[in-house]
A and B are shown apart, each in its own frame.
Chain A
Amino acid sequence: MAELRRPTESGVPDPMKFMHPVLKKNYGNWLWHDRPRPGVLHHVAKSGDQVWTVRAGTARQLDVYTIRKLCDIADQFAEGHVRFTTRANIEYMVGSESKVKPLVEKLEAEGFPVGGTGNSVAMISHTQGWLHCDIPGTDASGVVKALMDVLYHEFKNEEMPNRVKITTSCCQINCGGQGDIAINVQHTKPPKINHDLVSNVCERPAVVARCPVAAIRPAMVNGKPSLEVDEKKCMCCGACFPPCPPMQINDPVNSKLAIWVGGKHSSTRSKPTFHKLVVAGLPNNAPRWPEVAEVVLNILKVYKADGRPWERMGEWIERIGWPRFFEMTGLPFTKFHIESWRGGRSSLNASSQVRLG
């Protein structure tokens, strides 16, 4: 057997050798920027150097042919350097304004929409889903593709009160993160346990410890060591499924989708916030999830019409109040919208400030 190669523990690569020369030259010395049009940023350095960045949407899950095509565009219409944003957009940097228009036209002609800057709806951040995750309740790339098709105009234009960050997650762990709008799987039934497999596959004490509400306990079932779930306690979060795959939480009908709004990462103006539940019970309706798209478009329409400049989704709702949000979107307010955990009372209205009609 050939001798195995020891890894070179080189860590995070130095970006300087890959960076566009204007960026490298002016590193740490930028002065201001503006956006000449949606999808294009213009940065000016203290040295007087300028750089234009053209941002385009991708599918994130890319085949090598597509990546090479993006590289060809960089070599022919830009200057051979690109970078990627945290939301899977590609950015081309060019040192002269005259290169912007041909680059934008080429990207559009090749099917890569230019946009995603400023107060647009940004590319949806997403997870792995059925394509590669071991615990997904739904797909990720497909949900995003279906939604970005209907949000195409909003990606390419800057017509929202402020930027809109949408996220998706294919289980309740929420790897997609917090969003102005978050579309996440919500299970509605306890796991179905394959008792024949539990003792061979699962480390039972670890699974018991994993349950947030202590609903799992060891049990003998059909003469075999297994686990059982107190279904009155279980809130169907699916936390037991990753360490114990025989506790199947995903269900084609009962794993639903829920929509949350008002999450915000930045400390800009208001402090960061978590997204809040607005709708649940939507069907996991592959391949295009039309029921989800309808709710998202409706929320965006109302926000777009009523939000003031710079108000993020959550800041807009903070101003108009939740009663008006539910009224304007026509969405129902149910007992599930009220926090029910021990610390949750801090989310209740402890004042006489109410909004009536």
Chain B
Amino acid sequence: MAKPMPITPNLDQLESGPWPSFVTGLKRLAQSEDKHYSTMMKDLLGQLELSYKTRKGFWKGGLVGVFGYGGGVIPRFSEVADQFPGCREFHTLRIMPPAGMHYDTKTLRALCDIWERHGSGLIALHGQSGDIMFQGADTEHVQAAFDEFNEFGFDLGGAGAAVRTSMSCVGAARCENSCYDEAKAMRKMVNAVLDDMHRPSLPYKFKFKFSGCANDCVNATHRSDMALLGTWRGDMQVDQAEVKKYIAKNGRKWAIDQVVTLCPTNALSLNDDDTLAVDNRSCVRCMHCLNVMTKALQPGKERGLTILVGGKATLKIGAQMGTVVVPFMRMETEEDYDKLVELGQTILDFFADNALEHERTGEMIDRIGLVNFLEAVGLDLDPNMVNHPRTCSYVRMDDWDEEVAKWNARKSGAKAAAE
């Protein structure tokens, strides 16, 4: 006789209302009596209902993995398996999606079929780090599930003290604001450090994230140890005829209130003939005016990215944003992309060798100071790295002259290179 559906008065209340209900989905899996996961999902619902009733979680971690890798599987064992034996083991496989999360339906269906054969039929699209999360395999089926995903062209993502699965925005695939090839940069970078993803041996996690412009659609600034944000050098492109059309349609007050005065560095003004005057040397590439007048304004022609390092969530010293370590890196030729990967590897290696256990990159930089970090990874100082220079005089400066000489040598070197 089939195992009865659990009584779930709390979860039932999450089936009403207009938004799609995950509870309805869980029940559908549980009610698939012809599938091997039916019992597992009935007990999963039972355990989840118990959490709703007691307001407590009942999962503990452990050690589960696949042959040849040290991470990428999130082990979950039920602490109430005596009541819910079907979900005694309910592990997640983190699988990396195609960059930009593009799929054809054939591929999505095939992923579903694999997961029905080996797991629970429950899939999160996607986790906060950007993984496809195949949730709910018992220990015995983890290897077989991975083997099929892997044969199909997919690979495990990161977990634990490792390089984590990365994300890139839709970018060049569908966005006019894309300032580099986000998917290409992401794949080149992550695929160059897969050993540090699949065999966790770093002090703690390390995340790369790739956004094509300052709108930062993958939240790289706050959410990654190394954030790559698209930008450009030189003048932004202005189609004055289109500017005039926008103003003819929306009015001058609109142009002043919603475009000109919202420029954070007062780099815009409206000319008497309803064209836009741009002070490009003051522009900080914030994207606001481009977002408003998509048809009239475009990023400049020399494109690249700004690199920020050190973003992270609260643990353990409070949330941090990344800060600028490279104001502009050109991203046009293959060599430019190789140079980016090289820098990423240098920063990752320095983190691996110098961070304390469970210390993130941002915390490490707090401890050693930005200047030591920059010197160690071979990056030049730049005033773009600070909001403002030092305000406190308590610092030893007896090699001031040497530092000035370094700056001057760099400046004259750059000038000579430009000539």
Contacts and interface: CB of A to CB of B under 8 A. Distances in A.
B21 A145 contact: yes
B415 to A, nearest CB: 29
B313 A174 contact: yes
A269 interface: yes
Contact of A132 (B59, B170, B198): B59
Interface in B16-46: 16-23, 25-26, 28-29
Contact of A284 (B55, B106, B128): B55
Given A32-B294, A252-B55, A268-B291, A63 B29 contact: yes
Contacts of B314: 172-174, 237
Interface in A32-66: 32-34, 43, 51, 53, 57-66
Given A145-B21, A177-B128, A268 B109 contact: no
B229 interface: yes
Given A7-B66, A268-B288, A145 B19 contact: yes
Contacts of B319: 174, 178, 274
A83 B101 contact: yes
Interface residues of B, number: 124
Contacts of B223: 177, 265
Interface in B338-360: 357-358
B22 A60 contact: yes
B153 A13 contact: yes
A330 interface: no
A263 to B, nearest CB: 8
A149 B66 CA distance: 39
Query: Which range holds the interface residue count of chain A?
Result: 35 or more
Contact of B124 (A61, A142, A265): A61
Contacts of B128: 125, 127, 175-177
Interface in A96-150: 111-113, 125, 127-139, 141-142, 145-146, 148-150
Contacts of B13: 287-288
Contact of A10 (B106, B150, B257, B286): B150
A20 interface: yes
Contact of A67 (B123, B126, B174, B317): B123
B22 to A, nearest CB: 4
B81 interface: no
B99 A141 contact: no
A9 B194 contact: yes
A220 to B, nearest CB: 25
A31 interface: yes
A83 B103 contact: yes
A189 interface: no
A133 B25 contact: no
B92 interface: yes
Given A64-B112, A113-B20, A132-B92, 6 more contacts: A5-B143, A62-B125, A85-B101, A142-B11, A152-B17, A209-B358
23 contacts: A7-B67, A9-B155, A11-B96, A11-B191, A12-B155, A19-B100, A23-B174, A33-B175, A62-B122, A64-B115, A68-B112, A81-B102, A81-B104, A82-B102, A88-B124, A113-B19, A132-B135, A174-B314, A177-B219, A250-B56, A252-B55, A267-B229, A269-B264
